[in-house]
């Protein structure tokens, strides 16, 4: 497993380990049926066991590993249907945020969306996937803020963070960043016009397209139906060392 990070910020150690293990599982580096050793993982990433234990617990909640009493966790992986189901759920959550944002947005909110969309367009033109993802997060965060619903945005972020690696990965498909920016523009125009129904529909479509785009990158790991991602890495990936992760 790689000891480096593509996260632009500095995650907690547990979140750092969760992200790295999730990536290893989704790329097939950690195959279904593999045991996860807390001690070995802690040594690999230079952290203590408690954050590793917490990371594995979160991965179990995400359905990527199976916990068994008094035994090491075992890698489960995900099927294509499970992945698409999560993107469909994400689409509905983000559509609800966009709907509320269209009803409640201020001029300041529109300015924030325009600024972050401009960043998305610039990074799409440069084909800088990791920078684009950061700008993309900021665009969606501006919509979350405009929605005015703290509970909804908190739950949306939880699923978004779970799907982080998958969302970055589909951005590596040819032309996807440019297409995604156009989809963002459509969402912004609907919110600007305070058309709640159109804003929700455009956002829902944006997320569904992300999930469908991933199909081209999924390959069956074995006969169980579990899949892994292929052709993910980009030369422009920006990395942070695990030693920088916060406690």
HEC-encoded secondary structure of 38-102: HHHHHHHHCCCHHHHHHHHHHHHHCCCEECCCCCCEEECCEEHHHHHHHHHHHHHHHHHHHHHHH
SS3 218: strand
Rg for the chain (alpha carbons), in Å?
Answer: 18
Prediction pTM value = 0.76
What pLDDT is stored for residue 246 in this prediction?
44
What pLDDT is stored for residue 125 in this prediction?
95
Written as six digits, the tokens of 74 are: 């075992």
For residue 55, give the nearest of 80, 38, 68, 78 by alpha carbon: 38
Integer Cα distance of 198 and 193 in angstroms:
9
What pLDDT is stored for residue 238 in this prediction?
41
Integer Cα distance of 228 and 15 in angstroms:
21
Each residue's pLDDT tens digit in the chain (247 positions)? 644 443 334 468 998 999 899 888 888 888 888 999 999 999 999 999 999 999 999 999 888 899 988 778 999 888 888 888 989 999 999 999 999 999 999 999 999 999 999 999 999 999 999 899 999 999 999 999 999 999 999 999 999 988 888 888 888 888 999 999 999 999 999 999 999 999 999 999 999 998 888 877 887 766 667 877 775 444 333 434 444 444 3
Integer Cα distance of 169 and 166 in angstroms:
5
What pLDDT is stored for residue 167 in this prediction?
86
């Amino acid at each position: 497993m790689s000891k480096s990070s593509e996260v632009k910020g500095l995650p907690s150690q547990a979140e750092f380990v969760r992200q790295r293990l999730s990536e290893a599982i989704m790329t097939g580096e950690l195959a279904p049926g593999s045991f996860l050793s807390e001690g070995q993982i802690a040594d690999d990433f230079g952290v203590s066991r408690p954050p590793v234990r917490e990371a594995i617990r979160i991965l179990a909640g995400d359905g990527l590993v199976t916990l068994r009493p008094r035994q090491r966790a075992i890698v489960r992986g995900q099927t294509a249907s499970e992945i698409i189901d999560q993107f469909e759920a994400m689409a509905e959550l983000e559509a609800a945020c966009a709907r509320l944002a269209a009803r409640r947005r201020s001029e300041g909110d529109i300015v924030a969306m325009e600024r972050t969309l401009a960043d998305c367009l610039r990074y799409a033109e440069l084909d800088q996937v990791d920078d684009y993802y950061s700008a993309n997060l900021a665009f969606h965060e501006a919509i979350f803020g405009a929605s005015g619903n703290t509970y909804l945005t908190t739950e949306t972020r939880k699923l978004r963070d779970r799907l982080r690696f998958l969302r970055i990965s589909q951005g590596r498909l040819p032309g996807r960043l440019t297409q995604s920016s156009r989809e963002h523009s459509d969402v912004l125009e609907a919110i600007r016009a305070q058309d709640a129904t159109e804003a929700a529909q455009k956002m829902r479509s944006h997320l569904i397209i992300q999930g469908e785009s991933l199909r081209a990158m999924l390959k069956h790991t074995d006969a169980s139906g579990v899949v892994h991602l292929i052709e993910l890495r980009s030369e422009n990936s920006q990395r942070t060392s695990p030693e920088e992760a916060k406690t």
